[in-house]
Each structure stands twice: as structure tokens, then as C-alpha cells.
Structure 1
Amino acid sequence: MREICINHIDAFTTKRFAGNPAGVVLNAECLSTQEMQQITNELNLSETVFLLPPQTVENDFRVKYFTPKEEIDFCGHATVALTWLVATEMGLAQAKHGIVLETNIGNIPVTWDIKDGNINSVEMTQAAPKTKDISVDLDKLSRLLRIEKDAFDLNYPLKLANTGNWHLLIPLKNDILIDKADPDLAALDTFNKKYGVSTTHLYTFNTKQDCDLYTRDFAPSVGIAEDPVTGSANGALAGLLYYEKIISQNEPTRLIIGQGHKVERPGTLYVTITPNGTEPIIKVAGAAIVTIKGVLHL
């Protein structure tokens, strides 16, 4: 019998039972892909990340991400959770300023911020953002999301964006309307698969929460009804806002994004967008906290 140490970590929060929970499995080189999927199903969290030895000497680790349904190329909150654990419990914060992770979308650098001897947050540099147009009927979207057609805020872009996974980014007029959304998940699953997107991500600048942007994220096509706090989708959103000139293309912009309030798991992401030629550098930061540690018997 093999014993596998598992960790349950709440990401993008400093409080237990908030933010987005991720499963983290260190020393996963002894596991097959099938076992990783089975462990993810057993933990039954939106994503579980597995730490493996690197395939190239210039990187520190290789990682694989799974939802209860399938392997995915990238997951922001699981990256934050994993890096938090590596920096604290593996003690790397005393030896290094950060690490580089090999993923299916390329290398992801992650650093940590230390304050008064303790880690304050970790920050990942996401893949270069990409965007593309989508032609979609607003009447159909309103039926999918079960919101009124006049809830859409067409002063902002409704497009696809990607910093690792494709997301459909939909602007609504305020956070109240975002919280009223009650998607037809079966129909949204079909819709997302048709357009090759991982999630449907609602956003607004008009919020009473203590943040610049308020968002919600739905991902039935990868087995997640609603993702509480989404690092990859909010990174993609930042890239879209940059390309659409909603934020500055001349100097760095820092955004605070709030998510998870509707599902009573509020979390906070700190996103920095830095101009860099034709492609901005997107960095997403947040804190994390360990809530459960245990041993899985195989």
C-alpha cells in the first residue's frame, strides 16, 4: 500500500473557508495520470495540482492540473496554492526568491513577497495574453445566463481571451446583476464546448465591494459549476482590458479583483499589467492558507 500526502489549500484569501480551495499533492512522480485523475475525483475540488520533477534543468518543478472531469493546461488558483505550500512548508522561501514551473502552456515563473519574515503573497507571471472576437447573439446569452438582455454593458468588450485557457468574458452593468445570474449549466456546457472555451466569466467595474472589478466564473464544460476565485480567467480579463485600451498601455496598471462573494467564498486577486512591446506582462498575486492535511492510501 502506498501513502500519498494530500493538502487542501484555500487560495486568494487569508481566511479559512474563503477563496478558492485547491488540492495539492507533492512528490507526485509515483502517480500515473489515471491515479492523478482518481485522486482529483476523490478530493472533489474544482482543481487539484500535482508536483513533479522538472524535465529541463533550468526549471524547478513540473506541474499537472486536473478538474474532476479532465486534465487542463493551467489553473491560476492551484498555482498559488502549490507555490504557497512550496515556499512555506518546503522551506524554499529561505533559499530562493521564487521558482519556475513547467506547465502544458510553457514555463510559469512564481515569486513570493516576504514581510516581517512571513510570506505575504505569491505572484505568478501568466502566459502572454491572446484575444479574439466572438459572434454571439445577446438574446441567446441572456437565456443561457438567465439574466435580462439589458444587463449587458456594451461599453466594455465581450470577447474571448486567454492566458493559458480560453475564457468568454462578458461585461454586465453592475455586481447586483452579476449576482443575479443563474446559468442553465447544461446549455452553457454545450455552448462553451462549441466555442472551445473553458469558462464563462462575468465582470463589472461597477461594484460596491472593496475592489476595482467584480467577477463570477462558470465552467461546466470542465466539470465545475461555479469556480469561486479564478486566477486564469482574471488574468485573461486583464489582458483583454489592456488590448482594448480600457487600461493604460503606457504605464503599469494594478487592479484589485474580487470574486466568490455570491458562493460565500470571497477572495481577492492583485493583478499587475505592465506594457512590454506588443504583449503586456500579466502578473496575478494572492495569499493562501492551508486548511486540511492528510494521507491518502492507494
Structure 2
Amino acid sequence: MKGINIYHVDAFTDKPFGGNSAGVVPNAEFISCVHMQSIAKELNLSETAFLMPPQSTAADFRIRYFTPSSEIDFCGHATVATAWLMGTIGEWATKKNMITFETNIGHVPVKFEIKENSLRSVIMTQIEPKVKKIDTALVELANYVGLKKDDIETDYPIRLGFTGNWHLLIPVKTRKAIDEAIPQIDKLKKHNKSHNICTTHLFTFDSQEEDCLLYTRDFAPAVGIPEDPVTGAANGALAGYLILEGILSAAEAHTFNIAQGHKVGRPGKVEIIISFIDHKPIIKVGGSAVPTIAGTLLVEEEK
């Protein structure tokens, strides 16, 4: 048997057992794709990140993400968890001010925010945001996610948003409606797979959290996750949507927080920073994290 170092890290929280837990395997250079998938299934977290040497000299590590059922191109909370782990236990935050990951969708730089000589947060710059329309009827979508048609906030459009994966973004009038939503997981899974949608993201400006602009929930049955507690990729796509659809002004920068995870007992906070270069939005997503488990996974030697 061979021992592989593994960690559980709770992302988008400063308290253990909050936010969204990711698996992190720091030394995965000799692990096959088959074993990565098996390890992700064994850990049974929404995503597990595997680190290995990069193919590009512009990156510090190559990172791959697996759900219990499949590999995905990008995962926000696992990126935050991995950067936090490398910044603290790996001591990268004492050596340089950022770490750059090579992913399936390009390079993702993550900046270390230091305050009073300790790591306060890690802030990743996501790839350029995109939005596109979806032709599924409003009544159908409401049915899939367990909402009434009248729960949908029609002042804002339903769109697909992207900063690495495609997310179905559905505006909802109230937090109460979001919390009471009971999605039809099988129907939602079938729909999202047919449209290459990674997750369905419900959002509202009725956050009811003092320091948060929005409140969200995220369902990802298409990639084997009924509900993802706190999501960096989906909230990044949401931030891009808010700018590209003119809901937030493109004439100024924006900084705000998004609350998520409360319904499933894992409250978290996602920091959003939106700036512009040559009138193009730059989406930054971050937060703090807490390692909760460090151990050794015993597996058979690969042949």
C-alpha cells in the first residue's frame, strides 16, 4: 500500500465546519486519472483538487478538479482551499504575494492578502466572463428548481453565465423562496446535461445578511452534486452577469459579498471584486479558509 497526503479545507469561511469543504491532494504528480477519480469518490466531497508540476513556466502548479463522479474544468472553492493550504501549511504566503494555477481553462492567479502578518484571504482572478441566452421556458425552469413562476424576479433576465464553467443563473424575488426551493434533481440533471450546464444558481438581492449584497443557492446534479454549499465559480459567473447585463454599472468598480450555504447549515461568505481593463470586466473572487483534516490515504500501488 502507498500513502497519499490529503487535506480537507473549508473554503469561504473563517470557522471550521462552515463554507464548502474541498479535498486537496498536494502531491499528485504520480497519480493516474483513474486513481484521482477514485480518490475523489472516496473523499465524497463536492470537489477534490489535485496538484502537480505545471506544463507552463508561467504557472506554479497544474491543478485538476474532480467531483465524486467526473472531472470538471474549474472549481472556485477548491481553488481557494488549495491556495489557502499552500499559503499557510506550504508557506507560500511568506515567500511571494501570489500563486498561479494552470487549469483546463487557462491560468488562474491567486493573490495572498496579508494583514497583521497573517493570511486574511486569497483572491483569484477568474477568466473573462461571458453570458448567453437559454431557450428553456420560464415555467419549466421554475418547475425544475422547485419554485413557483411568481417567485422568479422578471426584472432581471435568466441567463447562462461563464467564468470557466457554464452556470444557469436564475433571479429570485426573495431569500425565503430560495430557501424553500426543492429541486427535482433528476429532471434538473437531465436538463443541465443536455445544455452543458455545470450548475444551476439561484440568486436574490434580498440577502438579509448585513454585509452581503446577494444570497445564493447552487444545485449541480449534472456533475454529481445535488447541492454545493458555497460556490466560487458560480458566484464569479454571477458577478460577470451582473455587469454584462447592465444590472451593475460598468462605469465604476464594485466590491461586495455574497452569502451562501445557510440553508444547508454551512454558512459562507464570498468576496467579489469587479474592476475593468480597456472596458472589459475583471472578476476576482475570494475569501478565507480553514483546514480541518490532514491525513494519509492508503491506496494500492499503481502498476
Q: TM-score range by the shorter chain?
A: over 0.9
State the AA in 1 paired with 2:221: P
Q: Which residue of 2 aligns with 1:88?
A: 88
List per-residue Cα deviations over 1:19-45 (Å, max 9, x = no partner).
000000011101000010000000000
Alpha carbon RMSD of aligned pairs, Å?
A: 0.8
Q: Which residue of 1 aligns with 2:149?
A: 149
Q: Which residue of 2 aligns with 1:67?
A: 67
Q: Which residue of 2 aligns with 1:77?
A: 77
Q: Once the 2 structures are TM-superposed, how far is the Cα of residue 204 of structure 1 from its aligned partner? A: 0.5
Q: Once the 2 structures are TM-superposed, how far is the Cα of residue 238 of structure 1 from its aligned partner? A: 0.4
State the AA in 2 paired with 1:286: G
In the aligned structure 1, how far is the partner of 2:197 from the partner of 2:233? 12
State the AA in 2 paired with 1:258: A
Q: Once the 2 structures are TM-superposed, how far is the Cα of residue 207 of structure 1 from its aligned partner? A: 2.3
Is residue 2:138 matched to residue 1:138?
yes
Contact 2:28–2:51, Cα closer than 8 Å, also in 1 = yes
State the AA in 1 paired with 2:8: H
Q: Which residue of 2 aligns with 1:114?
A: 114
Contact 2:101–2:109, Cα closer than 8 Å, also in 1 = yes
Q: Which residue of 2 aligns with 1:174?
A: 174
Contact 1:129–1:279, Cα closer than 8 Å, also in 2 = no
Q: Which residue of 1 aligns with 2:285?
A: 284
Report SS of the residue matched to 2:262: coil
In the aligned structure 2, how far is the partner of 1:239 from the partner of 1:232? 11
Report SS of the residue matched to 1:135: coil
In the aligned structure 1, how far is the partner of 2:15 from the partner of 2:45? 18
In the aligned structure 2, how far is the partner of 1:73 from the partner of 1:58? 19
In the aligned structure 2, how far is the partner of 1:142 from the partner of 1:233? 19
Q: Which residue of 2 aligns with 1:21?
A: 21
TM-score, normalised via structure 2 length: 0.97
List per-residue Cα deviations over 1:211-267 (Å, max 9, x = no partner).
100000000000000000000000000000001111121121012100000001000
Report SS of the residue matched to 1:237: helix
Q: Which residue of 1 aligns with 2:273?
A: 272
In the aligned structure 2, how far is the partner of 1:238 from the partner of 1:58? 26
Aligned residue pair count: 298
Mean alpha-carbon deviation: is it higher for 127-136 or for 270-279? 270-279
Q: Once the 2 structures are TM-superposed, how far is the Cα of residue 142 of structure 1 from its aligned partner? A: 2.1
In the aligned structure 2, how far is the partner of 1:92 from the partner of 1:267? 24
Q: Which residue of 2 aligns with 1:48?
A: 48
State the AA in 1 paired with 2:239: A
Q: Which residue of 2 aligns with 1:98?
A: 98
State the AA in 1 paired with 2:258: I
Mean alpha-carbon deviation: is it higher for 265-274 or for 242-251? 242-251
In the aligned structure 2, how far is the partner of 1:144 from the partner of 1:133? 18
Q: Which residue of 2 aligns with 1:297?
A: 298
TM-score, normalised via structure 1 length: 0.98
In the aligned structure 1, how far is the partner of 2:77 from the partner of 2:289? 9
In the aligned structure 2, how far is the partner of 1:256 from the partner of 1:79? 18
- Segments of structure 2 that go 5 or more residues without pairing to the other structure are none
Q: Once the 2 structures are TM-superposed, how far is the Cα of residue 145 of structure 1 from its aligned partner? A: 1.7
- Segments of structure 1 that go 5 or more residues without pairing to the other structure are none
Q: Which residue of 1 aligns with 2:250?
A: 249
Contact 2:10–2:18, Cα closer than 8 Å, also in 1 = yes
Q: Which residue of 2 aligns with 1:194?
A: 194
Report SS of the residue matched to 2:150: helix
In the aligned structure 2, how far is the partner of 1:146 from the partner of 1:232? 23
Q: Once the 2 structures are TM-superposed, how far is the Cα of residue 296 of structure 1 from its aligned partner? A: 0.5
In the aligned structure 1, how far is the partner of 2:183 from the partner of 2:214? 21
In the aligned structure 1, how far is the partner of 2:232 from the partner of 2:58? 25
